[in-house]
């Protein structure tokens, strides 16, 4: 299995490091940043291609690690060439683009896997498994927070700060937790968002709080921000159910704590700490996708449809912030 990596920025280098630890072979890199691509190619003793067409002709799988606004065209070209595709999140900037991408892959008979890496962080995955096993009962409230510094790109225009290219902070950053909230709480029927505009006029939203209502009756509170000074990055999760609580605050001495209510004479709360983190989540993600592509795993943890649903939740959150009204993800396009 030969992997062609499209893009040579941070995610391209992270994915390359992970692929190098699987049985797959890295074919090479293509990027408009030719010097970066050449550097990565030299590091892994592979080829730096002169065009996307050359890369497509020399690989079995395309790993797309490029800015979001380029995803649709690049996915459709890979599908037309009969290549399986791993695409970084967000899948697309619009629901319509996401649907076209999924349809193109289905028509070509190729697999489309989307890199929502939070599903592969051990503490987040363990929390979801705990919920799925019914250990905390019926989920009532999910609280998720993800706040960092504003993305910076040296030597080039910062596409992250252009909503026409990245979708802005809500689409690019908060989509991680929108996807996770849906994975844990089920389908989302409405989104209500309040946002704050920062000092930088190029970045319309620096901070937002979204309330998601799930069809199950659960409520998710999702906080996101590009408001911290570098290099700060803070995340946390809390899932409250009818019989227990799961917590993972930033800086916790254990990766995850589960508090269950168990009948032992008088009611008692028992804290059950988990084992320490053992693997880089990006490596776990890539190994999982390798197993899917190799036929060792039948069902991927993240599908194109999952990624599309996350895009729709993000779009609903953006529209709600603009209108001040709740928005259904089904209404956005």
Q: What are the boundaries of each domain within the chain?
A: 2-117, 118-277+304-331
Q: In a 3-state reduction of DSSP, which class is residue 230?
A: coil
What is the number of helices (H) and of strands (E) in the chain? 11, 14
**Interstrand relation of 139-149 and 233-241 (parallel, antiparallel or unpaired):** antiparallel
**Does the domain at residues 118-277+304-331 carry the CATH identifier 2.30.29.30?**
no
Cα separation of the two ends of the chain: 36
Residue for token pair 């893009």: 7
CA angle (114 as vertex; 112, 115 as ends), nearest 5: 145
Q: Kindly report the pTM of this predicted structure.
A: 0.90
Q: Is the dihedral of CA 121, 126, 132, 134 positive or negative?
A: negative
Classified as helix, coil or strand, 213 is: strand
Q: From CA 249, how far away is CA 260, in angstroms rounded? A: 17
Q: Which two tokens stand for residue 21?
A: 């630890």
- Cβ neighbours of residue 13 closer than 8 Å, sequence gap 6 or more: 40
The reply to whether domains 2-117 and 118-277+304-331 share a CATH topology is no
Helices (H), 45-84: 52-57, 71-80
| Residues facing 280 on adjacent strands | none
- Cα–Cα distance measured from residue 247 to residue 330, given in angstroms and rounded to the nearest whole number: 30
The answer to whether the CB of 96 falls within 8 A of the CB of 118 is no
Per-residue confidence in pLDDT tens, the chain, 333 aa: 999 999 999 999 999 999 999 999 999 999 999 999 999 999 999 999 999 999 999 999 999 999 999 999 999 999 999 999 999 999 999 999 999 999 999 999 999 999 999 999 999 999 999 999 999 999 999 999 999 988 887 655 788 888 999 999 999 999 999 999 999 999 999 999 999 876 555 555 689 999 999 999 999 999 999 988 888 899 999 999 999 999 988 655 445 545 444 433 334 333 333 344 467 899 999 999 999 999 999 899 999 999 999 999 999 999 999 999 999 999 997
The correct CATH number of 2-117 out of 3.40.50.2300, 3.20.20.70, 3.40.50.720, 3.30.930.10 is: 3.40.50.720
How far is the C-alpha of 268 from the C-alpha of 262, rounded, in Å? 6
Q: What is the pLDDT of residue 151?
A: 87
Write out the two tokens for 105.
């892959």
pLDDT of residue 301: 96
**pLDDT at residue 27 in the model:** 98
């Amino acid at each position: 299995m030969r992997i062609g990596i499209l893009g040579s920025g941070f995610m391209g280098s992270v994915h390359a490091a992970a692929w190098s630890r699987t049985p797959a072979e890295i074919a090479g890199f293509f990027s408009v940043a030719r010097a970066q691509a050449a550097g990565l190619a030299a590091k892994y003793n592979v080829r730096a291609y002169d065009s996307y067409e050359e890369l497509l002709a020399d690989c079995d799988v395309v790993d797309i690690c490029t800015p979001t606004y380029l995803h649709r065209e690049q996915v459709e070209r890979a599908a037309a060439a009969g290549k399986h595709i791993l695409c970084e999140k967000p899948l697309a900037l619009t629901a319509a683009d996401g649907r076209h991408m999924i349809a193109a892959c289905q028509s070509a008979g190729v697999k489309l896997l989307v890199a929502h890496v939070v599903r592969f962080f051990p503490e987040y995955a363990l929390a979801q498994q705990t919920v799925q096993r019914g250990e905390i009962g019926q989920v009532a409230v999910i609280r998720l927070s993800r706040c960092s510094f504003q993305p910076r790109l040296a030597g080039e225009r910062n596409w992250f700060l252009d909503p026409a290219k990245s979708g802005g902070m809500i689409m690019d950053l908060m989509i991680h937790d929108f996807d996770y909230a849906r994975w844990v709480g089920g389908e989302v029927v409405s989104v209500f968002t309040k946002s704050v505009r920062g000092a930088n006029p190029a970045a319309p939203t620096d901070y937002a709080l979204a309330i998601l209502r799930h069809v199950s009756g659960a409520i998710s509170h999702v906080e996101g921000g590009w408001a911290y000074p570098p290099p700060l990055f803070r995340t946390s999760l809390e899932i409250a159910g009818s019989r227990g609580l799961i917590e993972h605050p930033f800086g916790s001495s254990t990766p995850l704590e589960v508090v269950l209510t168990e009948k032992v004479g008088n009611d008692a709360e028992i804290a059950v700490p988990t084992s320490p983190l053992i693997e880089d989540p990006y490596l776990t993600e890539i190994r999982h996708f390798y197993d899917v592509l190799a036929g060792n795993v039948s069902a991927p943890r993240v599908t194109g449809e999952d990624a599309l649903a996350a895009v729709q939740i993000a779009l609903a959150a953006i529209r709600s912030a603009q209108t001040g009204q709740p928005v259904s993800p089904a209404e956005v396009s």
